[in-house]
Amino acid sequence: MADAVEHTYGIINFDLIKSWFKMEPGTDTAFWALNLMKYHEVAQYADGREGISGREADDAYAPLGPLAAVGAMVAYLGNVKQQPVGDPVWDRVGIIRYPSRSAFLAMQERDDFKAQHEHKKAGMEFTIILSCIPESHDPSIEPTGDLVLLISRGDSDPFAGLPGLTQVANFDSEGCIIGDGRHYDRARFVRVDDDAALAGVVAAANTSEGAQVLVMRSAIDNLVESVVTA
């Protein structure tokens, strides 16, 4: 039996997890786990192995088998090209669509997942994982080109109505699964028309406490498909 999963890269939000166990029958439907990832420069393996970067360790982690076994889908994966607003400076963003919260919890108990998790533990310095629900999407969007991820909190969306933005997939957050106590209310994936539009996004973010702006280089973009086929 593999060791239990140890989360050295963030604090589990037990209040959120407890609320999942109290969900009414039929309400535990699909959700999207948005992972903001910051890597160690050099992977920190318990056995002392060297010569592997944190990013390479996370690449070795990639639990595609366990994800498929619980019916999950990789909705998005991309590297952060630029981060004009927000901290820490993230390295990568990934989104997994799970068929239910119970499926997410069941994956944590799988031996094959636990065996691969040593790589994530070694590579990840810090992560925030948001539990998200789609708010809107544009089914006409083709999965080409880079995206900008806008994360914010508060009653109003600081990025709503800004010119030069194409809304791709918008998510509302029910809370952080793992993090450092910060909370966020929404995550928006958009395309920006030009540098002026990006400057408008940055200006809006700078007036909104806790907002983050991440310019992504997409590697896997199934965002809209993941919502349409849920």
For each of the chain's 230 residues, which pLDDT tens digit applies? 334 456 789 999 999 999 999 999 899 999 999 999 999 999 999 898 888 999 999 999 999 999 999 999 999 999 999 999 999 999 999 999 999 999 999 999 999 999 999 999 999 999 999 999 999 888 887 766 789 999 999 999 999 999 999 999 999 999 999 999 999 999 999 999 999 999 999 999 999 999 999 999 999 999 999 999 99
In a domain, 6, yes or no: no
Question: How far, in Å, CA of 181 to CA of 49, rounded?
Answer: 32
Q: What is the pLDDT of residue 139?
A: 81
pTM confidence score:
0.93
- CATH of residue 212's domain is 3.30.70.100
In a domain, 3, yes or no: no
In a domain, 4, yes or no: no
Helix (H, G, I), strand (E, B) or coil at 49: coil
Q: What is the pLDDT of residue 2?
A: 39
In a domain, 25, yes or no: yes
Q: Which residues pair with 218 in a beta bridge?
A: 78
Helix (H, G, I), strand (E, B) or coil at 153: coil
Q: What is the pLDDT of residue 1?
A: 32
CA-closest candidate to residue 112, choices 71, 62, 76, 72:
62
Enclosing domain of residue 106: 11-228
Extract the runs of DSSP E, i.e. beta strands, from the chain.
11-12, 31-39, 73-85, 92-98, 124-137, 148-152, 165-179, 186-192, 212-221
In a domain, 138, yes or no: yes
Q: What is the pLDDT of residue 142?
A: 73
* Total count of domains within the chain: 1
In a domain, 153, yes or no: yes
